[in-house]
Amino acid sequence: MSTFDLTIQEFAKIEGKARLTVKVKDSVVEDVRFAITEYKRFYTQALRGKDIMALPQLCCRICGTCSNAHILCAVQAVENALGMITSEQTLLLRKLINYGLMIRDHALHCYVFALPDILGIDNILELDESIPDQRQLLEDTFQVKAVGNMLSAHIGGKSVHAPYPVIGGFSKLPDQNRFPDMIASLESIRPAVMRLIQRLAESPFSLHRVSNYVAKIDDEYSFLDGDILTSEGRTYSLMEYVNAIRHVEIPYSHASGYIFDDGVCMTGALARINLAKDKLHPRTKQDVKDALRMFPSTNIFHNNLAQAIEILHSIDRSIDILRHLVIVPERPQTVMRKAGTGVGIIEAPRGILMYRLVLSEKGSIDHIQIVVPTGQNQVHIEQSIRRYLEQNIHQGKDRLHREIESIVRAYDPCMSCASHFLTIKWVGV
């Protein structure tokens, strides 16, 4: 019979800080507490009263890694509140910024956070450059990340806190003359991403859970458009989604948890691929058809594989856009300040990101609610740790520690995003 306490004070190779405490008595898991330990910066309060034009650049400071997703979601929420119709060129450029984010952010997760677990090393820099296979992997890591960075930076001005995407359009348009080189760079990393997909498809790690997967899906798997679909077969409009998501207080965690339709759900790459693998780019589908046969999947670790497939998809969609897009001079639309409510919902790298705004007549923020992917996955993560412990209680503590860290990493949680809001009860809104 096993009786022990297990504490993980800090998780390595994730975005931000989290802590786990476990109590096991007579081989029964009595208590599992997964706590996000990032201190809040109280953005919900800080944004109230601010002018809408400042919102995107304020919100992107919520999180350095998901920065551009916050910009795009904040812009969408404001434009919806003001009834603005965006141009086709603006929509395509926003897609490119998000594809660049997906490439860079998923690559950071897959190569730097997740792969060391599979390779049995502590960090990616431990790879031995004198061994060809390891040198190749090291080169792949930094080349793929760099191309994602390049795409976001060329279109958005910077890969982190991009200055060009604004409400109503772009403050500066990209240089069309650079598109051929960008296409060549994107093409150049496809073989590396194919190797990554192969490695992750062969990973022996598994933890199976039947879950309600939730994702925003459109016909081109653009991450920015569509309805909310669930693996329970339901479709939600954006407002139905807003009404179905409910805050749950987790007293030991700095971050709010969320449940969807009164149940625990999972959002992110695994949810997207499970729900919409048929909508991936045709070239992606052709080139990774063996890996795609593994979906829909109940294996939490296939979130890593799903992210790698999304890197390839983002490359292929970006190449298509860059081949056909002809940049025309276009200034951002004039913003007409007025009272209104608006919702923005996009797929950020880690899942559904939601902004809900109430604007005053002067165009300032009266109320704002921001729900981030890790908030939605927080309860799911804790339940997965419990499930794993119940199945592996007689393993040594070192192994439990190591494998629990791998499970948490598989979700690619972002604590920086998750902990910086304080949920306020909305009255009469």
Partner 1 sequence: MKKLSIGWFSFSCCEDSTIIFTELLNDHYKEWKQIIDFRSILVMQRKESLHSFDVAFVEGAITSKEQEKKLKQIRSVSKKLVAIGNCACSGFPSGQRNDFDPAKQDEIAFLLVRFAYAERVQKLADIVTVDDYVSGCPMNEQGFLTILNKYLKEFGVIA
**What does DSSP assign to residue 228?**
E
Task: Between 104 and 302, name the residue whose CB sits nearer to partner 1.
Answer: 104
357 close to 365: Cβ distance less than 8 angstroms: yes
Question: DSSP label at 208?
Answer: B
Encoded one letter per residue, x for contact with partner 1 by CB under 8 A and - for no contact, window 135-174 reads ---x---xx-xx--x---------xxx-------------
CB of 59 to partner 1, least distance (A): 10
Choose which of 108, 114, 155, 275 interacts with partner 1 (CB under 8 A).
108
Q: Which amino acid is at 421?
A: F
Minimum Å gap between C-beta 88 and partner 1 is 31
Nearest distance in Å: CB 149, partner 1: 5
**Minimal CA–CA distance to 68: which of 162, 168, 146?**
162
Compare residues 90 and 369 and give the one whose CB is closer to partner 1: 369
Among 63, 93, 359, 385, binds partner 1 (CB under 8 A): 63
User: Three-state SS for 19?
Assistant: strand
Residue type, 389: L
Q: Find the binder of partner 1 among 5, 30, 31, 122 (CB under 8 A).
A: 122
Q: Check binding of 205 to partner 1 (CB under 8 A).
A: no
Q: At its nearest, how many Å lie between partner 1 and the CB of residue 348?
A: 14
Q: Within 13 Å, how many C-alpha atoms sit on residue 93's CB side?
A: 28
Beta strand 212-217 pairing with 265-266: parallel
Rg (CA), the chain: 21
Name the minimum Å distance from CB 418 to partner 1.
12
- Is the dihedral angle over the CA atoms 68, 69, 70, 73 positive or is it negative? positive
- Report the number of secondary-structure helices (H) and strands (E) in the chain: 16, 14
119 forms part of the interface with partner 1 (CB under 8 A): no
> With respect to partner 1, which residue has the nearer C-beta, 135 or 331?
135
Size of site (CB under 8 A) for partner 1: 44
User: What is the separation of C-alpha 321 from the centre of its chain, rounded to a whole number of angstroms?
Assistant: 22
Question: Which residue intervals of 53-171 are DSSP H helices?
Answer: 55-59, 67-82, 88-107, 115-119, 132-156
Q: Which of 42, 289, 339, 361 binds partner 1 (CB under 8 A)?
A: 42
What gap in Å lies between CA 223 and CA 317, rounded to an integer? 11
Per CB under 8 A, contacts with partner 1 among 236-275 are 251, 254
CB of 61 to partner 1, least distance (A): 5
Taking the complex as a whole, the smallest distance from the CB of residue 123 to partner 1 amounts, in Å, to 4
Residue 15 found at the interface with partner 1 (CB under 8 A): yes
Beta pairing, strands 4-8 & 18-25: antiparallel
Closest approach of partner 1 to the CB of residue 365, in Å: 13
Position among 123, 171, 188, 391 found at the interface with partner 1 (CB under 8 A): 123
Supply φ then ψ for residue 410, to 5 degrees: -60, -30
State yes or no: residue 7 binds partner 1 (CB under 8 A): no
First to last CA, the chain: 54
Cα dist from 82 to 53, 165, 314, 315, 332, whole Å: 12, 17, 30, 33, 14
Residue 367 binds partner 1 (CB under 8 A): no
Which is nearest to 394 in space by CA: 19, 27, 31, 10? Answer: 27
Residue 61 makes contact with partner 1 by CB under 8 A: yes
Angle at 344 between CA 227 and CA 240, to 5 degrees: 45
| Binding of residue 129 to partner 1 (CB under 8 A) | yes
For position 62 contacting partner 1 by CB under 8 A, the verdict is yes
Asked if 347 interacts with partner 1 (CB under 8 A), we say: no
Amino acid at 33: R
**Which residue, 66 or 288, has its beta carbon nearer to partner 1?**
66
Which one of residues 20, 24, 32, 38 is an interface residue with partner 1 (CB under 8 A)? Answer: 38
What residue ranges bind partner 1 (CB under 8 A)? 10, 12-16, 38-42, 45-46, 48, 58, 61-65, 67, 104, 108, 112, 122-125, 129, 138, 142-143, 145-146, 149, 159-161, 251, 254, 405, 416, 422, 424
